[in-house]
Structure 1
Amino acid sequence: MNDDQLLRYSRHILLDELGIEGQKRLIEAHALVVGAGGLGSPVVLYLAAAGVGRITVCDGDRVDLTNLQRQIAHDTAAIGQNKAESAAASARRINPEVMVEAVPRRVAAGDLERLVAAADVVVDASDNFATRHAVNRACVAAAKPLVSGAAVRFDGQVAVFDARRESSPCYHCLFPEGGQPDEMRCAENGVFAPLVGIIGTVQAAEALKLLADLGTPLSGRLLLLNALDMSWRTIRVPRDPACSVCSRTLSPPVTRSAATRP
């Protein structure tokens, strides 16, 4: 690292658990963020600030006035711009040393598989089950760790699914495809502005821990937040040996198209 990097990341380097070697791992790492809305905004900004050397952010939506109450990567001047491009520009302003690539479209199956395979960690900041399942399938196929988050109204959740570990569940183990209740989205149900910031920041922390090989990730655990009384709960999530996505005894599933609408 050069002198400017030593100064920029000095507060990380002071941490015995992270230090220079851990910061080097972050600088050399590549993170894929699917979604640049409420969750993706703090994820992209914190990964950039922390020095993750390459960040790819995907989103096909455009910034709307209703987004600005919570999607902190965008400002009023960004209304009408693509969210991935707006978030990438914000990240570059925070840390011009990092390479931030915007993918300003909804990623289809082959595109998603390529992007996941090229990354060291994947952060799912989307807002719908179809995208979450598509991202999960791609992560299992490529054996990439996935940091998943969701937030609506006053409730949020975060989990890590690490396909590199034999005992780790995947997203499908927790939420079987087709078995979920009706989706609750911010546009219909509302969302407490700081909630997406809290959940997105936890996702960023988990991604950084995975990249720097630091601490104990949330693999096999679902972290739940009720922001009304600021209570946290942790639920153990076992791997489903009969899971149609991650079971080692079944043939790989066919990956379908994915659309992101964070």
Structure 2
Amino acid sequence: MISPKERIRYSRQIMLPQMGEGAQAKLAKARVMVVGVGGLGCPVALYLATAGVGTLHLVDGDSVELSNLQRQVLYKTNHVHKPKVVMAAQQLQAANPEMRIVPHQRNASEKWLATNMASIDLVLDCTDNQKIRKVINRVCQQNKVPVIMASVQGFSGQLITLDYRLPDSPCYSCIFPNAEQQQGTSCNSSGVIGPALGVIGSAQALEAIKLLAGLALGSLNTLQLFEGETLEWRRLSLGSRRCETCADQKEGVH
């Protein structure tokens, strides 16, 4: 059950027929980890906090830089040189003091993620690094924790949800089998337009709320592709595609 105060705070989403008090109660119990509190992680964390997600773990080892302020909307000029997760936690707690924010001022490693995954219901990958994305995918797959992955470069973005609670879920390596060999790019090297991060981050948060509430997802096993220059969305369904990693997991090979 939700409290009278929660009923007022979340009234506009509770009144939606797809949601209701039952879905709001599910959000209140949810424990979500956001890896990377940058251009994607900022809108993701803000929307999840204000939607009433009960516990939000923020993972990022960086400090705020002046160049971040063009796109990382949680941070202010007086936050420069301060830890991102600490500043983000302050902003989110001010937006919704009823929820719990757990800042982890560190970069995510495979060992750390595996140790902390037992208490997590959902992971949102908001990083811009192919290597850590593969690590997040692997740990979530091994622990049967759903993950919503997103990235943005320039004006273009992509988004996909992989629910490892389902026995035949494909994984990130099914889509990008050679990601570890790719050089990869980041906002620092290739540039990015801020509102495109807002669009993809908002979509990522929306899919997270829907997943936690038990609603159908448009990004489940489907790569959603957004082109900001033309405002077009395309989708690529993975179907029954499986990589060697998935086969090993299914057969119990480690």
* TM-based fold match above 0.5: yes
Structure with a larger share of its residues in helix: 2
Residues in 2 aligned to 1:3 and 1:215: alpha-carbon distance in whole angstroms: 28
Residues in 1 aligned to 2:138 and 2:5: alpha-carbon distance in whole angstroms: 40
SS in 2 for 1:123: strand
Residues in 2 aligned to 1:105 and 1:72: alpha-carbon distance in whole angstroms: 20
Residues in 2 aligned to 1:176 and 1:83: alpha-carbon distance in whole angstroms: 31
Is 2:253 the counterpart of 1:251? yes
Larger mean Cα displacement after TM superposition, 170-179 or 115-124: 170-179
Larger mean Cα displacement after TM superposition, 189-198 or 166-175: 166-175
Asked whether the equivalents of residues 244 and 250 of structure 1 are also in contact (C-alpha less than 8 Å), the reply is: no
Aligned residue type for 2:250? R
**Cα distance, 1:47 vs. partner?**
0.4
Question: Any stretches of 5+ residues in structure 1 without a counterpart?
Answer: 253-262
Counterpart residue number, 1:21: 22
Aligned residue type for 1:53? G
Partner deviation per Cα, 1:96-139 (whole Å, 9 max, x = no partner): 00000000011222211122221111000011001101100110
Residue 194 to residue 178, structure 1, CA distance change in 2 (3 Å): closer
Counterpart residue number, 1:176: 177
**Cα distance, 1:217 vs. partner?**
4.4
RMSD: 1.4
Question: Any stretches of 5+ residues in structure 2 without a counterpart?
Answer: none
Is 2:75 the counterpart of 1:78? no
Residues in 2 aligned to 1:20 and 1:250: alpha-carbon distance in whole angstroms: 40
Counterpart residue number, 2:168: 167
The higher-RCO structure (CA 8 Å, 6+ apart) is 1
Larger mean Cα displacement after TM superposition, 91-100 or 160-169: 160-169
**Cα distance, 1:213 vs. partner?**
0.4
Identity of aligned residues (%): 36
SS in 2 for 1:6: helix
Alignment of 1:123-202 (within 5 A): 123-178=124-179, 181-202=182-203
**Cα distance, 1:166 vs. partner?**
2.2
Aligned residue type for 1:136? N
SS in 2 for 1:44: helix
Residues in 2 aligned to 1:242 and 1:45: alpha-carbon distance in whole angstroms: 34
Counterpart residue number, 1:229: 230
- Alignment: residue pair count: 252
Residues in 2 aligned to 1:163 and 1:229: alpha-carbon distance in whole angstroms: 33
**Cα distance, 1:245 vs. partner?**
4.7
